[in-house]
Chain A
Amino acid sequence: MGNLPQLDVKSLGERAKVIRNHIIRMLAKSGSGHPGSSLSTVDLLVTLFYNKLRHNPQMPAWPDRDRFILSKGHACPALYAVLAERGYFEVSKLDTLRQFGSMLQGHPCMKTTPGIEISGGSLGQGLSVGIGIALAARLDKKDYRTYVMLGDGELEEGQIWEAAMASSHFKLDNLCAIIDHNDLQIDGSIRDIMSPHPIPDKWKSFGWHTLEIDGHDYPSITTAYSEAENTKGRPTVIIAKTIKGKGVSFMENQVDWHGKTPSKEEAERAFAELK
């Protein structure tokens, strides 16, 4: 039950490329969705799903599995691609993203997609669900862990801070928040729209073990996940500095690519870069 052998840095990079290709192809086909926000999460997700999570794609409801919640649900193309590549469902399903009748809804739906722990898409809500799962683990004396990925713009939601308070109040060391800190939200830079800075100071003051890493550097990501697991008595937040649109030069750090999909020609240019 559980994982494939650990992947080295080179293999993780190869897997990430495959995922990024899927994301571009899916979004070019669907004609709507969020490429920038999906691409920034890929290296964090690949490291988690290949080298960290205790899970079994053949048994998505295995009670002892580690849980992953994508609270920034609009980045679900990345998660769908990772789930498909890990064997939760056929890779060919990825091309049905956002289509009528598809198992892959525009935002995560737990009823249609194996591997989705809770339906989402409305920002600010995933960390609270993670608290419930972490409390259930404690009640059942189980050692599974819960990971919740948040966006940095999402930190503007008040519920995040309710959840941040409760997580440390309950000393949930089996809970890990991962912040995809790509600096951009739909309307512009998070600094300009509604600054959540200083982000590390806020989480520290809420009682969290706080790590800051490069969210595209596999050794740093791996070390952070291990440190989170080994930190006892309080939850850990990994503030992962990322690049929105990472891997596709013309999308990188461009706010316009938050919710715009590539044309056929743009997709071809992206594929060329992602070879």
Chain B
Amino acid sequence: MTEMIATRQAYGDALVEFGEKNKAIVVLDADLSKSTTTAKFGKKYPDRFFNMGIAEANMIGTAAGLATCGKIPFVSSFSIFATGRAWEQIRNTVCYSGVNVRIVATHSGVSVGPDGASHQCIEDLSLMRTIPTMTVIEPCDAVETRKSIMAAIDYKGPLYIRLGRAAVPVLTKKEDPFVIGKANVLRTGNDVAIVACGALVAHALTAADILQKEGIQASVVNMHTLKPLDDKTLLEVAKRTKAVVTAEQHVLDGGLGSAIASILSRNYPLPVEMIGIDNRFGQSGDPDVLFKEYHLLPEDIVIAAKRAIGRKQL
């Protein structure tokens, strides 16, 4: 049985781990530190932990100030508040200034579950991608989350990491490579490519298993970095498979699917099908029920893959 760990739990553990040696790391939270798990860091290093209260705009600006003095601020809240409430602060004070603020937001996607639509951020990838110079990452599991936090420490420029509330299967191994901006090809097949990020990577792998039983060979790409997007790997896989399915726990507008369709349409036009949320808000419910309702399950990816294959030019 695959181990299940929420990426947000791996985040708090990584902060504690890396914060021990690197004293420049400081952590800010907006009264959600137990949920984002930054409280683990706060308990261990209280001097370097700042609970900024329920005031996200001020938190982002404070992080920018700390960064100008050589600190490495990790800033956390739920993704709707971090990226939505404080978008313009991120745009003008953080990104335009080019300071090394790391925004790590949890509770993204409908897998937030019972809290409902107000707390299920399905727009953050788009909001962050559109800001010039921003780097955008969504790790697929706990192991990759730890690596993304490690990579973020020394990374130059503003950076956003998207994490989730619910436990997700651990798919990657400690020794697997993780480089910001370099996609990981998890499986190679020549009939169709499934390009996914975050929790949907697990669904993509399951979909590939189902397809294989039906004689369809799928490539699976873990596109953990949405920006800068690894167009080299994408185009290699696309040229081999001639059909692409994207999969994300996000609205179809402006997320992974949009990014990939944009690159493919300009460089190598081919059939693209997209798994994502189509112009709807989330709602309360268990994550599994919501995945079904919003067509984010492996079965949905299988249907999309067949559709993409069916659209290939003969």
| Interchain CA distance A170-B59 in the complex, whole Å | 13
Answer whether residue B233 sits at the interface, using C-beta atoms and an 8 A cutoff.
no
- In contact, A129 and B88 (Cβ under 8 angstroms): no
- In contact, A125 and B89 (Cβ under 8 angstroms): yes
Using CB atoms and an 8 Å cutoff, list the residues of chain A in contact with chain B.
63, 109-111, 117-122, 124-137, 139-140, 158-159, 162-163, 165-166, 169-170
CB of A179, distance to nearest CB on chain B (Å)? 18
Q: Is the interface of A mostly helix, strand, loop or mixed?
A: helix
Q: Is the interface of B mostly helix, strand, loop or mixed?
A: helix
**B:82-128 near A, CB below 8 Å:** 88-89, 92-93, 96-99
CB of A15, distance to nearest CB on chain B (Å)? 28
- In contact, A122 and B61 (Cβ under 8 angstroms): no
CB of A123, distance to nearest CB on chain B (Å)? 10
- In contact, B55 and A132 (Cβ under 8 angstroms): no
- Chain B 64-84, CB within 8 Å of chain A: the 1/0 string? 111111110100000000000
| Interchain CA distance A111-B68 in the complex, whole Å | 12
Answer whether residue B63 sits at the interface, using C-beta atoms and an 8 A cutoff.
yes
- In contact, A166 and B97 (Cβ under 8 angstroms): no
| Interchain CA distance A159-B93 in the complex, whole Å | 13
| Interchain CA distance A116-B89 in the complex, whole Å | 17
- In contact, B68 and A129 (Cβ under 8 angstroms): yes
Answer whether residue B301 sits at the interface, using C-beta atoms and an 8 A cutoff.
no
- In contact, A159 and B71 (Cβ under 8 angstroms): no
CB of A76, distance to nearest CB on chain B (Å)? 14
Chain B residues positioned under 8 Å from A117 (CB to CB):
68
| Interchain CA distance A165-B57 in the complex, whole Å | 13
| Interchain CA distance A169-B53 in the complex, whole Å | 10
- In contact, A135 and B66 (Cβ under 8 angstroms): yes
Chain A residues positioned under 8 Å from B60 (CB to CB):
128
Nearest A residue (CB) for B69: A136
Chain B residues positioned under 8 Å from A119 (CB to CB):
92-93, 96-97
| Interchain CA distance A130-B64 in the complex, whole Å | 9
Chain A residues positioned under 8 Å from B55 (CB to CB):
159, 162, 165-166
| Interchain CA distance A139-B62 in the complex, whole Å | 14
- In contact, A139 and B65 (Cβ under 8 angstroms): no
| Interchain CA distance A196-B52 in the complex, whole Å | 24
- In contact, B64 and A118 (Cβ under 8 angstroms): yes
- In contact, A132 and B66 (Cβ under 8 angstroms): yes
Chain B residues positioned under 8 Å from A131 (CB to CB):
58, 61-62, 65
Chain B residues positioned under 8 Å from A134 (CB to CB):
65
Chain B residues positioned under 8 Å from A159 (CB to CB):
55, 57-58, 61, 89
| Interchain CA distance A119-B95 in the complex, whole Å | 9
Answer whether residue B214 sits at the interface, using C-beta atoms and an 8 A cutoff.
no
Nearest B residue (CB) for A146: B65
| Interchain CA distance A96-B182 in the complex, whole Å | 41
Extra contacts besides A129-B93, A136-B70 (8): CB < 8 Å: A118-B93, A128-B61, A128-B93, A131-B58, A135-B65, A139-B47, A140-B69, A162-B57
- In contact, A139 and B92 (Cβ under 8 angstroms): no
| Interchain CA distance A118-B96 in the complex, whole Å | 9
- In contact, A166 and B58 (Cβ under 8 angstroms): yes
Q: Mind listing 10 A-B residue pairs with CB under 8 Å? A: A111-B97, A117-B68, A118-B99, A119-B97, A125-B57, A132-B63, A132-B68, A133-B69, A135-B65, A135-B66
Answer whether residue B178 sits at the interface, using C-beta atoms and an 8 A cutoff.
no
Residue among A109, A121, A137 making CB contact with B69, cutoff 8 Å: A137
CB of A50, distance to nearest CB on chain B (Å)? 24
Residue among B48, B52, B92 making CB contact with A166, cutoff 8 Å: B52
| Interchain CA distance A63-B69 in the complex, whole Å | 7
CB of A55, distance to nearest CB on chain B (Å)? 15
- In contact, A118 and B68 (Cβ under 8 angstroms): yes
Chain B residues positioned under 8 Å from A121 (CB to CB):
92
**B:25-62 near A, CB below 8 Å:** 26, 47-48, 50, 52-53, 55, 57-62
CB of A269, distance to nearest CB on chain B (Å)? 36
Nearest B residue (CB) for A159: B57
CB of A62, distance to nearest CB on chain B (Å)? 12
CB of A146, distance to nearest CB on chain B (Å)? 8
Nearest B residue (CB) for A117: B68
Residue among B57, B67, B92 making CB contact with A120, cutoff 8 Å: B92
- Beyond A120-B93, A133-B66, is A163–B71 a contact (Cβ under 8 Å)? no
| Interchain CA distance A265-B233 in the complex, whole Å | 62
CB of A177, distance to nearest CB on chain B (Å)? 14
Chain B residues positioned under 8 Å from A130 (CB to CB):
65
| Interchain CA distance A111-B96 in the complex, whole Å | 9
- In contact, B65 and A163 (Cβ under 8 angstroms): no
Nearest B residue (CB) for A128: B61
Chain B residues positioned under 8 Å from A163 (CB to CB):
58, 61-62
CB of A181, distance to nearest CB on chain B (Å)? 22
- In contact, B66 and A110 (Cβ under 8 angstroms): no
| Interchain CA distance A234-B284 in the complex, whole Å | 44
Chain A residues positioned under 8 Å from B73 (CB to CB):
132
